[in-house]
Amino acid sequence: MNFTRVHIIIILSTAVFQPCHTLAQNDSGRNLISNPSFEKYRRCPDKINPVGVLKIVNAWFQPTSGSADYYNVCGSVECFVPNNKLGIQQPRTGDGYCGIYCSKDNYREYLQTQLEQPLKAGHRYRLSFFVSLSEYSTGGVATIGGLLSKERLSDTTRAILMKKIVRPITSRISQTTSVYYQPQVMNSADRPLMDTQGWMEITGDFVAEGGETFLTIGNFLSAASSGYTDDTLLLTYLLPGSYYYIDDVKLYCLDCDDDYNDEPIAKTDTTYKVGATFVLNNIFFDTDKSTLLQQSYQELQYLIAILESHPKMKIEISGHTDSQGSDLHNQQLSENRAKEVVTYLMENGIEEKRLKFKGYGKTQPIATNATEEGRQKNRRVEFKILDL
């Protein structure tokens, strides 16, 4: 007998509505967003890709297959600032900004980043960021917002990012329910974001549940609920919907202790000595490839902070795999991944003479390869202190 999964869409009301153009109260504390105005990048942007992955902006990545874009004054004609393929806009600050398509249908693009520290339960936070509508859009939407989550959200589609809940019905049948996420901060549905000349602020306060570690920016509602508004004054209608530039993202605590707002010193409670080895827990690559994913950047920024606070430290970056696959493949894969990490460190100011890399393949497991949990632990990147 064949059994079919049942997909049910449930519409939930949004958690917080905030008007655009709201002036934030006096800012206090440290911004918990890394690279908040997109000024740090691995290379200058050279092309707007209809498909692909945003890989060149430090600390930012995309959680779905909807391809976010990066623009900078050093970019190509397509990605130049202020005139580029998808519109005309000066950065609100600095030299760069990102762009996402919010759509009048159900195609979506999102931006995501890992916070510098998880949020504290019961504390009040303020999130703010700025958007500007591309002149080449056919109109604007209203419900752009910011979602704080404990886990990294991801989806392989280019549709609305939704929460999937799987409930078993019997031992052989399960039901999948897709639920709209509820951003903690979202622009009001009755205030379309229509300004193409200036920057519109989206801001709001919320109380953290505790442990929120990732921020995702975009439109989380259906096309019918997004407050879409046509505008006949827009330029050329190149885009069948709403495309927005994003700049200056800020998240800070309103009522945390002063020590929470201090700049973090990575792993300050660790004693470093020659020969010591440390696992980098949040390093991610494309499956069976050496392509370093953006969600790794936060962990690598911590490593950079360690190296900067110990200017004589020299390290070896080592790559390791599980036991699946051939010895030769695992050896090459682990070495290429270690090399990719070293390349990132060099691109972010660490001198080459302080860095070495080596691949160990599957020769140094730290857990059993008989279970998926053990294999996941064995697929790792480490750094070893060679000199202080």
Query: Which of 26, 264, 22, 256 shows the shortest CA–CA distance to 129?
Result: 22
pLDDT at 133: 95
Shared-domain flag, residues 77 and 165: yes
Shared-domain flag, residues 40 and 117: yes
pLDDT at 17: 36
Is 54 part of any domain? yes
Shared-domain flag, residues 250 and 340: no
pLDDT at 104: 73
Is 86 part of any domain? yes
Token digits of residue 335? 């070495």
Shared-domain flag, residues 199 and 290: no
Shared-domain flag, residues 137 and 41: yes
Shared-domain flag, residues 153 and 30: yes
pLDDT at 166: 74
Shared-domain flag, residues 247 and 284: no
22 is in which domain, residue-wise? 6-258
Domain end among 228, 258, 288:
258
Residues of the chain with pLDDT under 70: 1-28, 52, 231-238, 258-270, 294
Shared-domain flag, residues 300 and 222: no
Domain end among 197, 227, 258:
258
Using DSSP bridges, classify how beta strands 214-219 and 144-149 pair: parallel, antiparallel or unpaired: antiparallel
Shared-domain flag, residues 371 and 324: yes
Query: Which of 382, 214, 184 shows the shortest CA–CA distance to 298?
Result: 214
Q: How many domains does the chain have?
A: 2
User: CATH number, domain at 120?
Assistant: 2.60.120.260
Shared-domain flag, residues 206 and 326: no
Q: What is the pTM assigned to this prediction?
A: 0.71
pLDDT at 174: 74
- Give per-residue pLDDT as tens, 336-360: 999 999 998 998 889 999 999 999 9
Is 264 part of any domain? no
Shared-domain flag, residues 124 and 195: yes
Shared-domain flag, residues 238 and 339: no
Is 181 part of any domain? yes
